[in-house]
Amino acid sequence: MKRCLIVDDSRVVRKVARRIVEDLRFEADEAADGAQALEFCRKTMPDCILLDWNMPVMNGIDFLRALRREPGGERPTVVFCTTENDMSHIAEAMRSGANEYIMKPFDSEIIESKFNEVGLC
């Protein structure tokens, strides 16, 4: 079973996202900010990461840049999932190594569609 790390500072969003990715047959893990996520990845590199942008301690874009510098950090498929919905944020995310981008609010259809795009399901 593939592992998906859900990184979001909102417990509610993590709960909703967990339910969706579990329905897509992923094993879900959670982190509340970029720093926690980086720590998790250093121990266990997930197959994919659903990543919020604005979070305390370390935001999503800084986490992504740090992740891609880690050994094996090029491997996870990273899908941003954020309220930042303008072209400049999307472009910055893609330049920094994101594989796909979801603009909140999301639902199961959007996550499934985006995961399909990047060959996750």
Partner 1 sequence: MNSQDFDFVSQLLRKRAGIVLGADKMYLLESRLAPLARKEGLPSIDDLIQVVRSRRDERLITQLVDVMTTNETFFFRDKTPFEHLKEAVLPVLAQARKGQRIRIWCAACSTGQEPYSIAMMIDQQPALTGGVPVEIVATDISERCLERGRQGLFTQFEVQRGLPIQMLMHHFTQQDDHWRVSERIRSMVTFRKMNLMDPSYTLGKFDVIFCRNVLIYFDGPTKTEVMNRLAQSMNPGAFLMLGAAETVIGLTQAFEGAQDRRGLYKLSSKAVKAA
> Among residues 30 and 100, whose Cβ is nearest to partner 1?
100
User: E strands, 8-120, where?
Assistant: 26-31, 48-51, 77-82, 100-103
Amino acid at 108: S
> Among residues 68 and 108, whose Cβ is nearest to partner 1?
108
Asked if 66 is part of the footprint of partner 1 (rule: CB under 8 A), the reply reads: no
Asked if 58 is part of the footprint of partner 1 (rule: CB under 8 A), the reply reads: no
Which one among 9, 114, 115, 120 touches partner 1, defined by CB under 8 A?
114
Query: Residue 37 to residues 23, 27, 33: CA-CA distances in angstroms?
Result: 22, 16, 6
Strands 100-103 and 48-51: unpaired
- Chain residues in the site for partner 1 (CB under 8 A): 85-87, 90-91, 94, 100-103, 106, 109-110, 113-114, 116-117
